[in-house]
A = this chain, B = another copy of it.
């Protein structure tokens, strides 16, 4: 149970690249980082490609004008000169810029919290992973849904054998907000369907990497051995990138899985779902109702577990804030993700290796595995949607 008590000796000095006024995701970063836990304080930012808009917006969210920077290189240079300079930077810019910005921050000795999909290639991820390790710096990835407590409950129950052996993993992240896209795309939509700015995927990277990560967090011992990906641009304006994709996979333990991701699933408001089928029981969760977990033992009444209840596992209660009967939302999940990254950074700063190992957070490896999965999906897709060995 969290009670708003500070977990760090003092808040980390935090800055952002991207996440400006028009950004879809910037506010979620601030909602997550600036929660009452005193883990972060926002000290600077290169919030926008437009320097003027950056300062105008930055000051309106409480950053001193002189620490609102027109570009991130200048931010790194100027902040480095200050005794109270930034310590950790969040990267909330379009995908193609993540690698360059992250690298520059690490080289400047700063921890990084980067958006997904982390980079374009596994090779880039590995390079950054090594760079961060060599400098004792943390790279966190904002899989923002992964802080929901009931996911930890799923994990705990599976570890305890409550569903038996895992046999089938059913993942979905689909919405319909691009179903009607015509020829004119919004800016945020335009970069997403351009391989130069988005990478080699649209919805697979934009949506499905979230769900893929959560499944991996819940089932750390399952590894994909082969995979098949079939993807389409059901709205022509999205070509050459996919707005709809189906992925099937076989795991090392004999279990199978499937994933559907789409941004043309018209009218669907129950976007993200995870079902884990075991030999005795199944667990089911939806991001639209994150406080609910469905536990279905074959041959017994179905069970509905509620967030915050004392019968939950301590893993699920660790980040509990509101208490039973009181709903939590995506902002709470982001707060949990940010808090876990803060704990990792703090442990790293203090050289507390064991503590660092113990913190569960979406790390650079998690980012890398997301990119690896995308590479395998693309490889299958480009081989005529053939089954491919997972590499």
A266 contacts which of B268, B278, B310, B328 (Cβ < 8 Å)? B278
Q: Within the assembled complex, what's the spacing in Å between the Cα atoms of A260 and B6?
A: 40
What is the minimal beta-carbon distance from A324 to any residue of chain B, in angstroms? 8
A267 contacts which of B31, B267, B298, B326 (Cβ < 8 Å)? B298
What is the count of identical protomers in the complex?
4
Q: Mark A20-43, 1 if CB is under 8 A from B, else 0.
A: 010010011011001110100000
What is the minimal beta-carbon distance from A55 to any residue of chain B, in angstroms? 13
A287 & B327 in contact (Cβ 8 Å cutoff) = yes
A267 & B311 in contact (Cβ 8 Å cutoff) = no
Please give, as numbers and ranges, the residues of chain B lying within 8 Å of A266 by CB-CB distance: 163-164, 167, 277-282, 296-298
Is A323's CB within 8 Å of the partner chain B?
yes
Is A302's CB within 8 Å of the partner chain B?
yes
Is A83's CB within 8 Å of the partner chain B?
no
A303 contacts which of B2, B60, B303, B321 (Cβ < 8 Å)? B303
B248 & A230 in contact (Cβ 8 Å cutoff) = yes
Q: A321-B27, A331-B321 are in contact. Are A306 and B62 (CB under 8 A)?
A: no
The stretch among A124-132, A339-347, A382-390 that forms the contact with chain B is: A382-390
What is the minimal beta-carbon distance from A139 to any residue of chain B, in angstroms? 24
B260 & A260 in contact (Cβ 8 Å cutoff) = no
Q: Mark A35-70, 1 if CB is under 8 A from B, else 0.
A: 110100000000000000000010011100000000
B281 & A175 in contact (Cβ 8 Å cutoff) = no
Q: Mark A249-266, 1 if CB is under 8 A from B, else 0.
A: 000001010101010111
Is A87's CB within 8 Å of the partner chain B?
no
Please give, as numbers and ranges, the residues of chain B lying within 8 Å of A228 by CB-CB distance: 228, 230, 385
Q: Within the assembled complex, what's the spacing in Å between the Cα atoms of A288 and B100?
A: 43
Q: Within the assembled complex, what's the spacing in Å between the Cα atoms of A296 and B302?
A: 12
What is the minimal beta-carbon distance from A379 to any residue of chain B, in angstroms? 16
